[in-house]
């Protein structure tokens, strides 16, 4: 009897996701020309379906004490499945600016991607008004949880931070070059980098990611999404995004890891870092808690790489594969960075630190504020 109920729930779940997938395909919201046909997509996600009852039991009916985070998608809950596996459940908020497109996008992408430096999707649930994404539980929360809290960032000594930079680099190389799809993340930031028990970095939140052609490295959009401070100027101003947009965001993350400070709503921290670089005082950027544990050569190399990544000139920024080579091969002499951008278009305040809002021009933007 229970098996029949589960089969019926899975069939209904599959039908609901199929309808949603067809709707998004007709609206051209998801790039199935690259991702594959609707039928192929259903085949790739068919084994990832959970019924709502299973997730309600795992999270104790979304009990408030099980809530472990809040993002643009909505609240995130810790749960334990009947087999003992710990999971993180992202629950789409009805008031969220994100919706069906981001849900479909994340399910399809994460069903195809597997890498030790990407968070792993275990499944999804689509039932009535509920849209849920079920991920592996990553025990140490996100990078920003440690990095920007003065009571916690002491847990991240230099060897751990250097390891995190390397992990994020490898994850981004996989997305851009080594997976069977070419993925532009479009919202790489400290809060979207999760840390496991061994402080291994895992990139998360692919709701805003885009699939591009195997030989394509850039595209245009009128729908600007992402987070101010991490967004490259050509994207924020003109809607031009590319793998180099992700490289820019990566550079910001690297500088944040070194400085132990949150980026603000302008590019001033990048500009400050560059000024100290040309003045020969770049080590002054270093988080004071790292003085005892840092390797100066590694720190200076990472500052150099970070500044190369946030250059205003798109062509001057390295590809992520080059970044990985520069990190691993200290015999390579790094080029000197040029001036990074230090401006942003004038825009109204759209949202708080953790939310994503819809503006009148259909853009999704997250504003970052210091804590």
Residues noted as catalytic: 187
CA-to-CA distance for 208 and 98, rounded, in angstroms? 9
Residues 337, 306: Cα–Cα separation, whole Å: 9
DSSP-derived secondary structure letter, 80 = E
Q: What is the Cα Rg of the chain in Å?
A: 21
Both tokens assigned to 47: 């084994």
Burial of 94 (0-12, 13-18, 19+ CB in 10 A): exposed
Sheet arrangement for strand 357-358: 225-227, 364-366, 357-358
Cα–Cα distance for residue pair 93/300, rounded to 1 Å: 42
- Max intra-chain CA distance, the chain: 74
Asked if residue 336 lies in contact with residue 301, where contact means CB atoms within 8 angstroms, the answer is: no
Q: Which helix (H) or strand (E) holds 131?
A: strand 130-136
- The helix (H) or strand (E) run that includes residue 126 is strand 121-127
Q: By three-state DSSP, how is residue 206 classified?
A: coil
Other CB atoms within a 10 A radius of the CB of residue 147 amount to 25
CB distance 306 to 251 below 8 Å: yes
CB 21 within 8 A of CB 42: yes
* DSSP H or E run through 33: helix 32-35
* Distance, CA of 349 to CA of 139 (rounded, Å): 33
């Amino acid at each position: 009897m229970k098996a029949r109920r589960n089969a019926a729930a899975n069939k209904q779940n599959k039908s609901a996701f199929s309808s949603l997938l067809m709707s998004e395909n007709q609206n051209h919201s998801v790039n199935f020309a690259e991702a594959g046909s609707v039928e192929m997509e259903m085949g790739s996600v068919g084994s990832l379906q959970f019924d709502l009852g299973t997730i309600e039991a795992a999270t104790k009916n979304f009990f408030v004490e099980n809530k472990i985070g809040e993002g643009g998608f909505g609240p995130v809950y810790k749960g334990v499945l009947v087999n003992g596996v710990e999971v993180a459940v992202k629950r789409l908020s009805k008031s969220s600016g994100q919706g069906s497109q981001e849900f479909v996008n994340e399910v399809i992408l994460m069903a195809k991607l597997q890498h030790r430096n990407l968070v792993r999707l275990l499944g999804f649930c689509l039932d009535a008004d509920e849209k849920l994404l079920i991920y592996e539980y990553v025990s140490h929360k996100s990078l920003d949880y440690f990095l920007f809290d003065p009571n916690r960032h002491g847990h991240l000594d230099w060897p751990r931070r250097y390891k995190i930079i390397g992990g994020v680099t490898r994850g981004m190389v996989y997305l851009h070059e080594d997976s069977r799809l070419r993925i532009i993340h479009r919202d790489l930031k400290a809060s979207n980098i999760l840390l496991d028990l061994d402080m291994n970095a895992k990139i998360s939140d692919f709701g805003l990611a885009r699939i591009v052609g195997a030989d394509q490295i850039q595209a245009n959009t009128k729908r600007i999404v992402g987070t101010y401070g991490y967004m490259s100027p050509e994207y924020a101003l003109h809607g031009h995004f590319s793998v180099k947009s992700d490289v820019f965001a990566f550079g910001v993350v690297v500088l944040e890891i070194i400085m132990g400070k949150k980026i603000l709503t302008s590019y001033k921290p990048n500009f400050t870092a560059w000024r100290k670089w040309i003045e020969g005082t770049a080590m002054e950027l270093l988080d004071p808690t790292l003085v005892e544990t840092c390797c100066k050569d590694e720190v200076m190399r990472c500052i150099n790489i970070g500044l190369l990544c946030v250059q205003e000139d798109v062509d001057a920024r390295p590809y992520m594969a080059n970044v990985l080579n520069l990190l691993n091969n200290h015999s390579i002499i790094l080029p000197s960075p040029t001036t990074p951008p230090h401006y942003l278009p004038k825009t109204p305040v759209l949202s708080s630190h953790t939310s994503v809002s819809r503006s009148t021009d259909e853009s999704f933007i997250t504003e970052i504020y210091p804590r």
